[in-house]
Structure formats: structure tokens, C-alpha cells
Structure 1
């Protein structure tokens, strides 16, 4: 297929030089196909594995070195030199404001477009810390995104994020992995609330973390389109983690099959990511 895609959620691992304590420490995730997920992959191999033309990507921090996340950015500059890309790095969102500002200053490189701090489960409380508002305001002032990764069915935290987005209209937030799904009705309630903030976008990714049927995937996309519209949704692979359930090519073929029109496909597979992540 000749359609060009931009993948806004990809991880490349360098296990020989990076730490990745979450992946290769004493308690690695109990995922199927973990050996395949951990295997080193080049961008050329990823492009060759896809029926569509992967013309750009967004690399999401993967725990290369959380004490010095700039090391991951430096490695990416070499590893991804043959493709257009942007990078989301790591910084602790509830850190003291001076510490947060210093961390962002160290990370400033031309490819940097934002930071992610995973606040799943009990860590979600950190999104409610007073410093989080100050640090999000700094990101907004620096024209940097915040990648929010937490369970949006935790409505207390979702309401807090909405409060931040309303207080900081120039802040740009991207919800990772559909905000996770365990209860479809509670998920939809959160989606409706979040969609009212025009500065929030969402990634259609992370389906490998659920056991939802393909018909339910269509229901998810239909509701996202109804509430977020075509311009604030992005298809994303979460490669290589998607291989829990599906290989890279079939992940994108599945997304293509969910779209009723080619216009929707182009928006969600390319145009929105290009605009949101400022890919020229």
C-alpha cells in the first residue's frame, strides 16, 4: 500500500547500553512474547515490516535511564538518523518546580516535543500534587506536550486533569493508550468529559492490554469520533509492546479496517500526528 503513515507511539530499546529496569530487572512484565518484544529493531526493519509507508514517528521514552533521560535522546539521534522523528522524554511531573525546570533545560534538543510521566495505579496521585500544576504551566509556556498515561476511569484524577487543562488553555495533553479500559461505560463517561477540553488529544493504541473484541474496537472508535472529532485522535502502534497480541503490520492493517472513509484514515494515521507533534 502506498499510504504514508506517522506512528506517534513507538519505543526502541537499546538493552546493551540502557538500563530499562522495568523490562530487564528482577521483575519484568509478565507479557506474552516478551523475548520478541525485547529484541533489537532498527527503523529500517520496522519500515520493511509494514504494508504502509512509515514516513515519520514519535519515540516515547522507554526508561533508557530515568536518572539521566537525555542519554536516551542522544542515542536516538544516532539510531533514528534515517527517518523524521520527534521525541517524548521523561521528567517527573510532580517534582519541585526548580528541579523540573532544570530537567527540561537539560533535555532541550530539536527533536524534543514533550515529556511523559507514567502515573498509572497508585502513582495517579502524583497528578494531583500541587507541583504538577506549576510544572504543566511550564510545559505550556515552553510549547511542550504532556503525555498523560493513567486509567481515565479513575474519575477523580480525570477531573483533576480537566481542571488543569481548563486553567492552562495553552497546555497540550495527549492521552496514551485510550486511557485504558476496564469498564466500557465508565470509560465512555470519562471520554465525554475529557473531549470537552479542546487542548486534549488521544491515542488509539494499547489494545493489547485488553481482551476486547474487534466489534468493540469499532465501538471505541465510533465514540471517540463522536466526541473528540477526527482531528484529535491518532492511531498509534505502541511497538514493540503491541506484539503481546499482534505484529506491527497487522496492527496497522487492523486500524485501516476500522475506518469507514479514507479521509478518516488519513487524519488518524498521518495528518493529526503531523500537526500535534509538529513534524515537518
Structure 2
């Protein structure tokens, strides 16, 4: 199962971040992916691995409800949808109620951390201090929704304080907690923060999107990240995703999943089945 990918139709939905011309993003130059990426494109690129199910994660649409409406019109849909809602908005409860009506809806993602430079401009990190944001985050569990959490390591202490008050909220940590620095004090801070987040039994971790932090990755350079994630969360709370088509900027779908399989080659068949399928199916409530 691919536990984290995106689709977009540039005629049906507006994606401001994607279509900004001449703007370098934290993950690189988006120009090569400034075109439609539809279900048939995803299925074509993933054909060699034939993922039986996949999870679509919201991808910065100007209107999160428009993105969900478009996805629900597709003749073939991902098995689970993770939508956008601004949990700090006055109408967040109404947004959430509307989102939960869509077929396949399982949760919400609102990015709280991308990169320090971008977060300083858009103020996303300030969400953690908002009582209204925290209140609406807690409302997700009452609605039967989970939360996909994208953050940066510097935010881990603040997130721990928030999440400790929400022990029943299912949380999927995206992109292995964004390991931007892979040496020195930044690396140690990520390792420590991840270990503390893993002490919360309602939090799972997705190994995905690592090309955004290390575009020239190799299997060996990914191994310390993957090993630490699995050491912290155990084989029962780890899942894998492609982050395509964003990570298409760095490698093909085949190269990415071959790397994942290489990283898991010394694990048991049971562990691989859990991390490559069962955990995501359980977390996102996908029938199989």
C-alpha cells in the first residue's frame, strides 16, 4: 500500500504553491511537476508494484472542499482521503462537517511545519499556540477523523505538549518527522524528539517524502533514518508512502520502492507485511 501520495488536476482545482512561477520551494524547483497528475498517472508509474490501495493526502489546494469534491468525482479513487481544513478558522467546525461527508474521508492534514524559512513567512508554526486550533484538533476524534501531522523537528517539544492532551486522537506523523539535518545537533534533536513522540501510543509514523530533505539520497543514507523510526515506533506503528509526484523530482517510483524493499530486506515477512500494508490499512480504516 502507498500510504502517502497526491493527485491534482490544475483545471479543476487551484494549487497556489504549485503554480507559482519562478519560485524555489523548500523541496526544490516545482517546475517539472507543474502539470496534471491524475489517478491514471499514479497507476501507470506504480504498475510494477501494483499497490492494491493508496492514501491521498491533501496537497495545498486553495479550497480544500473543492479538492475533496473533485476527488469524489473521479471514476477510480484512492482507498482513503486526507483533506485540508484550517483548524484555526472561525468556520472550522462547518468545514470539518462538510469534509467528513465525502466518500473515503478518513482525516485532516494541516501543515504546521515545512522549513524554517517558509514557516516564518506563512506563520504556520504559530498554529501550535492557538487555543482555537487546539480545540478543533481535539474535535477531530469526536468526528471519527485522524490527523496527518507534517512538522519540523524544532516544533517537537511544543507538539508533545499539545498531543499529550489528546491521547485518543489518531495521529500519523508525515515524512518521518522531517529530518532536515542528518548530522550534528540537528540530527540528535530529531532523534530525541522522535523517540518522545513514539511514547504516545496514538501516534504512528510514515516513512515518506525523504527526498525533500536529501534529494541525492542513497539506500545507505536513508538507512539511519529508517532504522531510527522503526526502533522508536516498532513494526506495528510504521508505514511507507511515496509522496509522489513531489518525490518524482528526485527518483522514479520504481527506484523509490526498490530502496524501501532494500531497507527492509533483513526484516521478517510478518514485519514487512505490517509496515508495507497492514498498519496503513488499520490506521486509515481500509477494508481489504
What is the TM-score with the length of structure 2 in the denominator?
0.86
**CA deviation profile, 1:74-98 (whole Å, cap 9, x unmatched):** 111233x3355211111112234xx
Distance 1:231 1:29, change over 3 A: farther
Question: Could you tell me which residue of structure 1 aligns to residue 193 of structure 2?
Answer: 190
Q: 1:175 Cα shift?
A: 1.2
Structure 1: gaps spanning 5 or more residues: 1-5
Distance 1:27 1:91, change over 3 A: farther
The reply on whether 1:244 has 2:237 as its aligned counterpart is no
Describe the SS at the equivalent of 1:54. coil
| Structure holding more strand per residue | 1
Question: Could you tell me which residue of structure 2 aligns to residue 130 of structure 1?
Answer: 131
Report if aligned partners of 1:58, 1:85 keep a CA contact under 8 Å in 2: yes
Q: 1:35 Cα shift?
A: 4.3
Q: 1:26 Cα shift?
A: 4.4
Alignment RMSD? 1.9
**CA deviation profile, 1:245-270 (whole Å, cap 9, x unmatched):** 11112111111110022333221211
Report if aligned partners of 2:240, 2:276 keep a CA contact under 8 Å in 1: yes
Distance 1:111 1:29, change over 3 A: farther
Question: Could you tell me which residue of structure 2 aligns to residue 164 of structure 1?
Answer: 162
In 1, Cα distance between the equivalents of 2:158 and 2:87? 14
Report if aligned partners of 1:208, 1:245 keep a CA contact under 8 Å in 2: yes
Question: Could you tell me which residue of structure 1 aligns to residue 116 of structure 2?
Answer: none
Q: 1:185 Cα shift?
A: 1.3
In 1, Cα distance between the equivalents of 2:140 and 2:57? 17
Q: How does 1:254-265 map to 2 (within 5 A)?
A: 254-259=259-264, 260-261=266-267, 262-265=269-272
Question: Could you tell me which residue of structure 1 aligns to residue 221 of structure 2?
Answer: 216
Question: Could you tell me which residue of structure 2 aligns to residue 3 of structure 1?
Answer: none
Question: Could you tell me which residue of structure 2 aligns to residue 276 of structure 1?
Answer: 283
What is the TM-score with the length of structure 1 in the denominator?
0.88
Report if aligned partners of 1:55, 1:84 keep a CA contact under 8 Å in 2: no
In 2, Cα distance between the equivalents of 1:84 and 1:94? 28
